[in-house]
Amino acid sequence: MSTNTPGKAPTTVDGHKDLILEHEYDGIREYDNPIPSWFHLIFIATILISIPYYIYYETNSEVLTAEERVAREEVMQLRKQVAALGELSTDEPTLLKLMAEPKWLKVGASIYATNCASCHGPAGQGTIGPNMTDDHYKNLKTLAEIPKVVIEGANQGAMPAWRTRLSTNNIVLVSAYVASLRGQNLPSARPAEGEVIPPWPAPAAPAPTPAPKPAAGNASTGHVRPAGA
Ligand code: HEC
CB 158 near ligand 1, within 6 Å: yes
Using a 6 Å cutoff on CB, does residue 18 contact ligand 1? no
In a domain, 7, yes or no: no
Residue 178 forms part of a structural domain: yes
Question: Bridge-partner residues for 136, per DSSP?
Answer: 196
Residues 143 and 190 in one domain: yes
State percent of the chain over pLDDT 70.
82
Residue 93 lies in a domain: yes
In a domain, 4, yes or no: no
Residues 93 and 26 in one domain: no
Give 131-191 as a DSSP string. PSSSSEESS-SSTTHHHHHHHH-BTTTTB---TTTS-HHHHHHHHHHHHHTTT-----SSP
- Gap from CA of 67 to ligand 1 centroid (Å): 29
* 5 in any annotated domain: no
**Residue 43 located in a structural domain:** yes
Q: In the predicted model, what is the mean pLDDT of residues 2-30? A: 70
Find the 174 Cα to ligand 1 centroid distance in Å.
Answer: 12
Q: Of 152, 159, 173, whose CA–CA distance to 109 is shortest?
A: 173
> Which residues make Cβ contacts (< 8 Å) with residue 222, sequence separation at least 6?
none
In this prediction, residue 120 carries a pLDDT of 97
Please check whether residues 49 and 118 belong to one and the same domain.
no
Alpha-carbon span 50 to 152, nearest angstrom: 49
Say which CATH number the domain at 184 has.
1.10.760.10
For 26, the domain range is 18-63
Residue among 107, 118, 119 to mutate when testing ligand 1 (max atoms within 8 A of CB): 119
> How many whole angstroms separate alpha carbon 208 and alpha carbon 107?
24
Q: Identify whether residues 106 and 50 lie together within a single domain.
A: no
Does residue 206 register a pLDDT over 90? Answer: no
State the closest ligand 1 atom to the C-alpha of 171, by its place in the atom list counted from 1. 38
Same domain, 51 and 162: no
Q: Where among 43, 63, 83 does a domain terminate? A: 63
Query: Which pLDDT tens digit goes with each residue over 127-143?
Result: 999 999 999 999 999 99
Determine the 3-state secondary structure of 99 from DSSP. Answer: helix
Q: How far apart are the C-alpha atoms of 181 and 99, rounded to whole Å? A: 10
> Closest ligand 1 atom, CA of 158?
12
Q: In total, how many domains does the chain have?
A: 2
Same-domain status, 45 and 109: no
Do the domain assignments include residue 214? no
Q: Is the beta carbon of 159 within 6 A of some atom in ligand 1?
A: yes
20-52 residue pLDDT tens? 888 899 999 988 888 899 999 999 999 999 999
28 shares its domain with 102 = no
Nearest to 34 by CA among 22, 44, 19: 19
Residue ranges of E strands in the chain? 2-3, 11-12, 20-25, 28-31, 136-137, 195-196
Q: How far is CA 174 from CA 90, 121, 132, 159, 162, in A?
A: 11, 14, 12, 15, 11
Whether 12 is in a domain gets the answer no
Stretch 89-116: mean pLDDT: 95
C-alpha dihedral (93, 111, 130, 143), degrees to nearest 10: 0
pLDDT band at 9 (very low <50, low <70, confident <90, very high): low
Q: What is the pLDDT of residues 214-228, one digit of tens each?
A: 555 444 444 445 444
Statement to judge: residues 187 and 81 lie in one domain: yes
* Residue pair 162/151 in contact by the 8 Å Cβ criterion: yes
CA 184 to chain centre: 19
Distance 107 CA to ligand 1 centre (A): 19
